[in-house]
Amino acid sequence: MAIVKDFLLQIPSMVACLGAVLFLLALYRLFFGSSSEEQGINPPGPRPLPLLGNILIMDLKRPYRTLCKLSKKYGSVFTMHFGPKKVIVLAGYKTVKEALVNQAQDFGDRDITPVFHDLNQGHGILFANGDSWKEMRRFAMTNLKEFGMGKKVSEEEILEEIAYLIEEIKKHEGKPFDTTKPVISAVSNIISVIVFGRRFEYTDPIFNDMMDRSIDSLRLTASTSIQIYNMFPWLGPWIKNLKYIKKNVVGAKADLMEIVRGLKETLNPQMSRGFVDSFLVRKQTLEESGNMDSLYHDDNLMFSVTNLFVAGSDTTGITLCWGLLLMAKYPHIQDKVQEEISRVKGSRQPLVEDRKNLPYTNAVIHETQRLASIVPMSIPHTTSRDITFQGYYIKKGTCVIPLLTSVLHDEGEWESPHTFNPAHFLDEQGRFIKKEAFMAFSAGRRVCLGESLARMELFLFFTSLMQHFHFSPPPGVTEDDLDLTPAVGFLLSPLPHQLCAVSRV
């Protein structure tokens, strides 16, 4: 009787336990289950836990590392679950190219995570879809070209800014300093001229606030807490980093409104000074014609300008910082670059047309972009319709991550993918060669809007700095001490460090 009594007393807890198990199974089925006709044709991947998905096996600070490791086990197309969200990961050059280039329409939409919705609210260019994205991208492309992107006028603006940057670096008189601020300031001024029609002094408070907020937000978006927020948006009110990001958004809009206000007051419809002027004229024209529901509103202006700054300054500036760090770490490569520049150009200012005559220098720039891989997971895409890809079924609206770092470090495409080797871009005669697997600017419908400008900036800034300075570690620090581990962030920048820039001329 005692045994029966004990059993009866345990029934409530057993029922509760069984109920919990059934509840979790139901959740698993709801979030991760698939119809019987889809079984066997979904991309493989690690088994997810209910609600948590594969979060427990992820390095949330550097998720691209986890995804690269998993691609070796599950192949070039595999499934991950970021919390309850299903994600398809594409790895390796051939697979990423097939998706983004050969099936560009199918993979061309943008997946907008909660944090990037908070940052852009569905407006602008980088984190938008549909008619608004198409119109803003088309308008941006047209006007960026009109204001000289990738043309001779841009080259002249870059050369002028290089002179300011050289003088700024000379102020340190060969003593250790952080290259990040002056380099990114210089690059930001190029997009400032195109967008606003003017450059800023490096000490300008609004200019500095804009850069600081941009860099801070990009860093915070990759933090562990924000990764958790993207998986479980209902946790938002308790995420401190989200509050900081939203504060940055408010501050950035206020700074931009201040600049735009000044441009409005001096606007001349017959003579646009930059992108903002063209946008304001278009907005005014549409409003005067009675079209009050156009896509040319203040939010699209604010976020388009913000996107152009991120795409046009942070990426290029960070790449240049990597280049200077790599030159300090590998002085024999820096010596070869400087010997080539001296032999070909002497003391004359390098120009874009010199690129073909500086193959080794050009190779070093490309190898810097390849090894740094500053946007390792690209910006997530989403499928525009139900598709079959490499034999796997992928539903419309599924998040897709083109793992760009797996392309730039593809062992089947690069002789030594994890080391700094400019020979990747040189033939046996030392001539520069293009590589199809060089996808530093992504590819397809969402390829970098300012690729031509970025290529011009990287070449002119890098060659000019190499011509004027020799970069080395601070006293007491050896080349081996320089750490190439990237900092945590949406864009992979070098860890905080200082270099010495000793004048060569």
Pair 82, 230: CB distance under 8 Å: yes
Distance, CA of 381 to chain centre: 13
Pair 144, 341: CB distance under 8 Å: no
HEC string of 397-451? Answer: CCEEEECHHHHHCCCCCCCCCCCCCHHHHECCCCCECCCCCCCCCCCHHHCCCCH
Task: Count other Cβ atoms within 10 Å, centred on residue 7.
Answer: 10
Pair 305, 291: CB distance under 8 Å: no
Pick the closest to residue 94 from 450, 372, 367, 389 (CA basis): 389
Using the Cα atoms of residue 306, residue 310, residue 313 and residue 317 in order, give the sign of their dihedral. Answer: positive
Which ranges of 198-239 does DSSP label H, i.e. alpha helix?
A: 205-220, 224-231
Pick the closest to residue 119 from 303, 295, 283, 274 (CA basis): 303
Rounded CA-CA distance 471/322 in Å is: 12
- Looking at residue 339, its amino acid is E
Pick the closest to residue 187 from 505, 376, 456, 398 (CA basis): 456
Rounded CA-CA distance 448/403 in Å is: 16
Rounded CA-CA distance 364/370 in Å is: 10
- Strands 399-402 and 381-382 turn out to be antiparallel
CA dist 488 to 230, 240, 306, 503, Å?
Answer: 17, 17, 21, 32
Rounded CA-CA distance 386/391 in Å is: 13
Pair 108, 385: CB distance under 8 Å: no
Rounded CA-CA distance 502/469 in Å is: 5
Residue 399 annotated in ligand binding: no
Q: Which residues of 8-31 are buried (b: 16+ CB within 10 A; e: fewer)?
A: eeeeeeeeeeeeeeeeeeeebeeb
Strands (E), 184-272: none
In the annotated binding site, the residues are 448
In the annotated binding site for heme, the residues are 448
